[in-house]
Amino acid sequence: MAIVETRNSKGWEGQIAVNHFGHFILTLQLLPLLAKGVGRVVMHSSSVHSFPGLDIDDLNYEKRPYDAFRAYASSKRANLLFAHELNRKARRIGVTATAAHPGWTVTELQERATGDDLFRSMVVRGNRLG
């Protein structure tokens, strides 16, 4: 979540690669198996999906400065868009898709995030108070 800039072995920005493309490819490869039963795909998203910054022409941050939080938000918006489109198209083969925001679950993930300290402190403190 909002990590420093990294690249995978193919050169893709780390958050879009891990949070979206990996799941996208795996899901498409599993569709034939999912279609044999009552298949359901649940994508993890986040409330940050509405944060501005999804630039379809520059998902890889080659034309603009890297912004960890926008990159994370973009990967989560990509998950939502994929879930919506997959649900629309895969229903014909008996597969449904949805997306869920896992909520303010207590994890160490937020403590390692970069970016706005106020946002981080609200998330981390909110986890511990809730």
pLDDT, position 27: 96
Rg (C-alpha) for the chain, rounded Å, is 16
- Pick one of 3.40.50.2300, 3.90.230.10, 2.40.128.30, 3.40.50.720 as the CATH number of 14-104: 3.40.50.720
CA-based nearest residue to 104, from 122, 70, 127:
127
**72 tagged catalytic:** yes
The CA-to-CA distance between both ends of the chain, in Å, stands at 20
pLDDT, position 104: 55
What's the pTM? 0.74
- Residues 109 and 30: their CA atoms lie apart, in Å, by 28
Instruction: Say which of 21, 72, 77, 124 is annotated catalytic.
Output: 72
pLDDT, position 112: 60
The pLDDT tens digits along the chain (130 residues) read 778 999 999 999 999 999 999 999 999 999 999 999 889 999 888 877 777 767 888 989 999 999 998 999 899 899 999 999 999 999 999 999 998 877 655 566 656 655 555 455 555 444 443 3
